[in-house]
A and B are shown apart, each in its own frame.
Chain A
C-alpha cells in the first residue's frame, strides 16, 4: 500500500491534513476514504454545518412565532401592522444583494480586484438598504406603541425578524472586513476560502428571509 502514500505526499496542502483523493486507487472511492479532503472543501463544509445550525436557531424563532401569533393581548394582529409594499421592497433589496454577491463570486474567481470590490460594495449597499427599511418599519411600530413589549405576538415578530436583521448586520461588518482584505492581502487561498464562507452566509440569509416573507408577512396577511 505504498502507492497511495506517495500520491498523497504531494504537499499541496499546507497542513498536510487536506489532500486530494489519490487518483486511480479503486479502493478509495466514495465514503471520504481517499484521505483528508482539500482545505477549500474542509472550510466550506465546516461553514455549511454552521449555517445548518443557524437554520435551527431560526427555526426556534419561527416556532415561537407560530405559537404566539394569536396571543395579541388586545393589541394589533398581523393584518393591521404589515405593509406588504415595504416588505416587497425589502425583499427586492435583499435578493438583488444576493445577486450582486453572486457576481462578486465570479469576479473573485477571475481574480479581478476592481470588479470584486465594486460588486461587494453593491452587495453591501443593498444589504444596508434592507436594514434601513427594516429599522424604518420597526421604528414606525414602536412609535405607534406597538413595540415588542406590547404583546406576545409582537414579541415573537420582533424577535424573529430582528434576529434575521442582526445576522444581516453582522454580515455587513464581515463584508466590510472582506472589502479591506482583498486589496490588502490579494486573492490568496485563505482569503478566497473566507469569501466562499461569506457568500454562503449571505445566500443563506436570503433563504431565511424567504421563509420570513412567506410565514410572517404573506401568511400573516391572511391570518385573522
Chain B
C-alpha cells in the first residue's frame, strides 16, 4: 500500500489536451476569482455573511448560485455532445468514445443532481419560511450542512475532470457494467461517492422541510390556507424522505460490491443486476416528481399573481399534488419494460403510468382556468409559465406514448425517449426555476430584473428548446439510439445539424440571462423595490421588506385567509390604513452563524476523495474529523443571538412606512382611475 493509494501522476490527463485544458481553464478561473476575493478583502465578509450563515434566505441564494454555475458546466457538455454528433457522420469527430461517454454521463448527473435539485431546493429555502410566516426553517444549522454537502458533491464531480476520470455508463451506473470487473477505474467511484455525499445533504433538507411545513406555520395557517408552493414543497420533501434512502442504499450496495467484493449485482456468485434496476428506479421515478412538483408550485404562485386572481381549484390542486406524490411510487417499472417482466406486469405499470397523467392534467386545467377571466400581465415570470404549459403538455403526451409497453419496445433507449425527458425536465423544471428566479429575485436582492432582456431570454430558450429537441423525436422514430458517439445513417445528419442550431439559440438565451444580471445590477438604483411587493403579490413573502430582515417578521402574522397578504391588503384598503396598529416590539432570538456546515463539507470532500483513491489513512482522518466536528457542535453553548427590540422596531417601522405609502399610492391611483372612468 502506498501513501497515496492508487493516485499517481497518471491520473492527470496530460496526453488528452481537451480535458486537460478545460480543467486548467476552470482551475485558473477559480483561482483568479479566489485571488480577487482575497485581494479585495472580501473574505471576512463572505465568511461572516454567507459561508457560515444559517439564514434560510442566504442558503437559498447560495443553492441557486451553485445550480446556475453547474448549469453552465452541464450546458458546455451538451454543446460538446451535439457538436460531436454533427461531426461524427461517418467520421470520428473530435471526442474519442471514452471521452464522449464521460461527457454524457457527467451532463446527466450534473444536470439532475447539481442543477435541477439545488435550484428547486434553493427556491424552497428562499421562499417557504417567508410564505409560512415564520422566522426560519426548523433546523437552521442542519440546513447549512445540507447546502455545503451538496456543494461538496458538486466539487467532487468536477474534480474528476482533472484528476482521474468520470463514470462512462450514463447518469445511472447500471451493473454489471459498473462492477469492478468491467469498470476498474475511478469513474464509478467518483459518481457514487459524490452522490452519497450530496444525497445525505438532500435527505436532511427533506427532513428539515417536512418538519418546517408541518410544525412551523404562522398562527391561523391551516393546511387549507397554505400557499400552493408550500404544498408542493411539502409533497416534494415527503418524496425526498421516502425515496432518497433508497438511492443511498442502492449506491451503498454497489460500493460494497466494488470495494469489498460483495455480490449484490455482480454476474457471478448469484448476484442479481435486475435488482439494481428496480431499486434505482424506485428512487428514480419519484425523483422526477421531487423536481417537478415544486416547479408546479412556482407556476401556481406566478399564474395567480399575474392573473390577479386566486388560484382556480385550490383544493383540487392539493389533491392532485398528493395523488402524484403517492402514485409516483407505483410506476417505476416503466423504465425497463423491455427487460423481461412479462406482459401482465408491464400492462399494470403502463396503466399506472397513464393514470399519473390525470392529476397532472387537472393541474394544467387549473392554471388555464386561473388565467381565464383574469387580468393577465405578461411579465417575464408569466411568460415562462405560459411557455411551460404548452411545452410540458406536449412532453407529457409523449410520456403517455412511452407508457404504452408495445410502443416502448420500439422507442426504448432511442432519442425519442431522450427528447421526451428533456421536454418535461426543461419545460417544467428549468422553466419553473427561471420563473421562480425572476419572480422572487426582487425579494432576495431588493431590485427587479430587467424585463426586456428577460423576455429575450425567454423567447430564445423556448425557441431554442424546440429547435434542439424537436428533431430528437424525429431521430428517435428514425431509429437513432441514444449515446451514439458516431453513426453512418445519412438521414440522421440533417436533423442533428438542426438540433445543433437549437443549442446555439439556447446559448444566446443563456447569454441574454447573463446580460440581464449585469444590466440589472448596474442599474439597480432605478429598479429598487421599495414596497417589498413589486408584483402586487398574494402571499406572505410579499409582506416583508425586500430583502427581508434576518428575522423575516417582527411579529408573526395572523393568517385569516387562504391568501393572507392579499387579504391584509384588501382590508387595509377598506379602512385606509394598515390592519394592525404598531405592535409592542420585543427582542428576537435568532440562531447564530456556524461554520459546522462548511467544515463538514470540507471533511466530506477529503473523505470522499480519499475513498475514491483508496487512501485509507486519510479516510480514517476524515471520519475522525467528522466525529470531532459533531462533538464540538454538540458542545456549543451560545447558539443564539439577540436582536434588540429597538433594532427590531427600527427595521419594522421602515417596512410599515413603506407599506403605508404604497397603500396610499394605490388608493390614490384607484380613485383617479375611478374619476376618469366617470
Contact = CB atoms under 8 A, between A and B. Distances in A.
Interface of A: 1-2, 4-5, 8-9, 11, 14-19, 22, 27-28, 31-37, 41-42, 45-46, 49-50, 52-54, 56-57, 60-61, 63-64, 67-68, 71-73, 148-153, 155-156, 158-159, 173, 177, 181, 184-185, 190, 194
Interface of B: 134-136, 138-139, 203, 206-208, 210-211, 214-223, 225, 241-242, 244-246, 248-250, 253, 256, 260-264, 266, 268-272, 275, 279, 551, 555-556, 558-560, 580-581, 583, 586, 588-591, 627, 630-631, 634-635, 637, 639-640
B627 A36 contact: no
Contacts of A194: 634
Contacts of A27: 220
Nearest to B211: A46
Nearest to A3: B558
Given A149-B262, A177-B634, A57 B245 contact: yes
B348 to A, nearest CB: 19
A149 B263 contact: yes
Contacts of A184: 635
B570 to A, nearest CB: 15
B270 to A, nearest CB: 3
Contacts of A156: 264
Contacts of A28: 219-220
Contact of B135 (A15, A177, A185): A15
A201 B645 CA distance: 39
Q: Which 7 A-B pairs have the closest CB atoms?
A: A71-B270, A152-B270, A35-B219, A60-B249, A57-B245, A46-B211, A1-B558
B270 A14 contact: no
Given A15-B591, A54-B245, A68 B272 contact: yes
B272 A5 contact: no
Given A54-B245, A60-B245, A36 B555 contact: no
Given A53-B244, A54-B245, A155-B264, A60 B279 contact: yes
Given A15-B589, A152-B263, A177-B631, A37 B245 contact: no
Given A149-B260, A155-B264, A159-B264, A181 B634 contact: yes
Nearest to B246: A60
A8 B135 contact: no
A155 B262 contact: yes
B214 A45 contact: yes
23 contacts: A5-B556, A8-B556, A16-B556, A17-B135, A22-B219, A28-B219, A36-B217, A36-B218, A45-B211, A46-B208, A49-B210, A53-B206, A53-B241, A56-B245, A57-B246, A57-B249, A61-B249, A68-B270, A72-B270, A73-B269, A151-B269, A155-B271, A181-B635
A16 B266 CA distance: 53
Given A71-B271, A150-B269, A17 B134 contact: yes
Nearest to B264: A155
A52 B556 CA distance: 31
Contacts of A33: 217, 219-223, 225, 559
A173 B631 CA distance: 10
B253 A64 contact: yes
A136 to B, nearest CB: 20
B265 to A, nearest CB: 9
Contact of A14 (B560, B586, B589): B589
A8 B207 CA distance: 26
A36 to B, nearest CB: 4
B433 to A, nearest CB: 25
Interface centre among B210, B263, B586, B630 (most CB of A within 10 A): B263
Contacts of A153: 270
Contact of B215 (A22, A32, A152): A32
A68 B268 CA distance: 13
Given A64-B253, A177-B634, A32 B264 contact: no
B273 to A, nearest CB: 11
Given A5-B583, A60-B246, A42 B241 contact: no
Contacts of B271: 68, 71, 152, 155
A152 B249 CA distance: 16
A56 B245 CA distance: 6
B640 A36 contact: no
Contacts of A14: 589, 640
Contact of B219 (A34, A46, A151, A181): A34
Contacts of B272: 67-68, 71, 152
B269 A152 contact: yes
A149 B258 CA distance: 11
Contacts of A56: 241-242, 245-246
Contact of B590 (A15, A53, A63, A149): A15
B135 A64 contact: no
B560 A67 contact: no
B262 A159 contact: yes
B558 A5 contact: yes
Nearest to B636: A190
A36 B136 CA distance: 11
| A149, A151, A177, most chain B CB atoms within 10 A | A149
B564 to A, nearest CB: 11
Contacts of A155: 256, 262-264, 269, 271
Contacts of B253: 64, 159
Given A5-B555, A151-B269, A15 B211 contact: no
B214 A159 contact: no
Contacts of B560: 1
A194 to B, nearest CB: 7
A17 B128 CA distance: 14
A14 B242 CA distance: 31
Nearest to B266: A152
B216 A18 contact: yes
A182 B400 CA distance: 58
Given A5-B555, A8-B556, A46-B139, A35 B207 contact: no
B364 to A, nearest CB: 28
Contacts of A150: 269
B264 A17 contact: no
A179 B553 CA distance: 39
Contact of B580 (A2, A34, A64, A67): A2
Contacts of B210: 46, 49
A171 to B, nearest CB: 13
Contacts of B241: 49, 52-53, 56
B216 A37 contact: yes
Contacts of B244: 53
Contact of A17 (B203, B206, B216, B635): B216
Given A15-B591, A148-B262, 9 more contacts: A1-B220, A15-B640, A18-B216, A35-B220, A49-B211, A53-B203, A56-B245, A72-B270, A151-B263
Nearest to A51: B207
A154 to B, nearest CB: 8
Contacts of A11: 586
B138 A46 contact: yes
A16 B589 contact: yes
B215 A36 contact: yes
Contact of B270 (A15, A32, A151): A151
Tell me which of A4, A17, A54 has the highest count of chain B C-beta atoms within 10 A of its own C-beta. Answer: A17
B219 A45 contact: no
B557 to A, nearest CB: 9
A101 to B, nearest CB: 19
A31 B222 contact: yes
A46 B207 contact: yes
B218 A35 contact: yes
A4 B257 CA distance: 58
A217 to B, nearest CB: 20
B636 to A, nearest CB: 9
Point out which of B218, B245, B639 has the most chain A C-beta atoms below 10 A from its C-beta: B245
Contacts of A41: 215
B77 to A, nearest CB: 31
Counting chain B CB atoms within 10 Å of each CB, the highest count among A35, A149, A173 belongs to A35
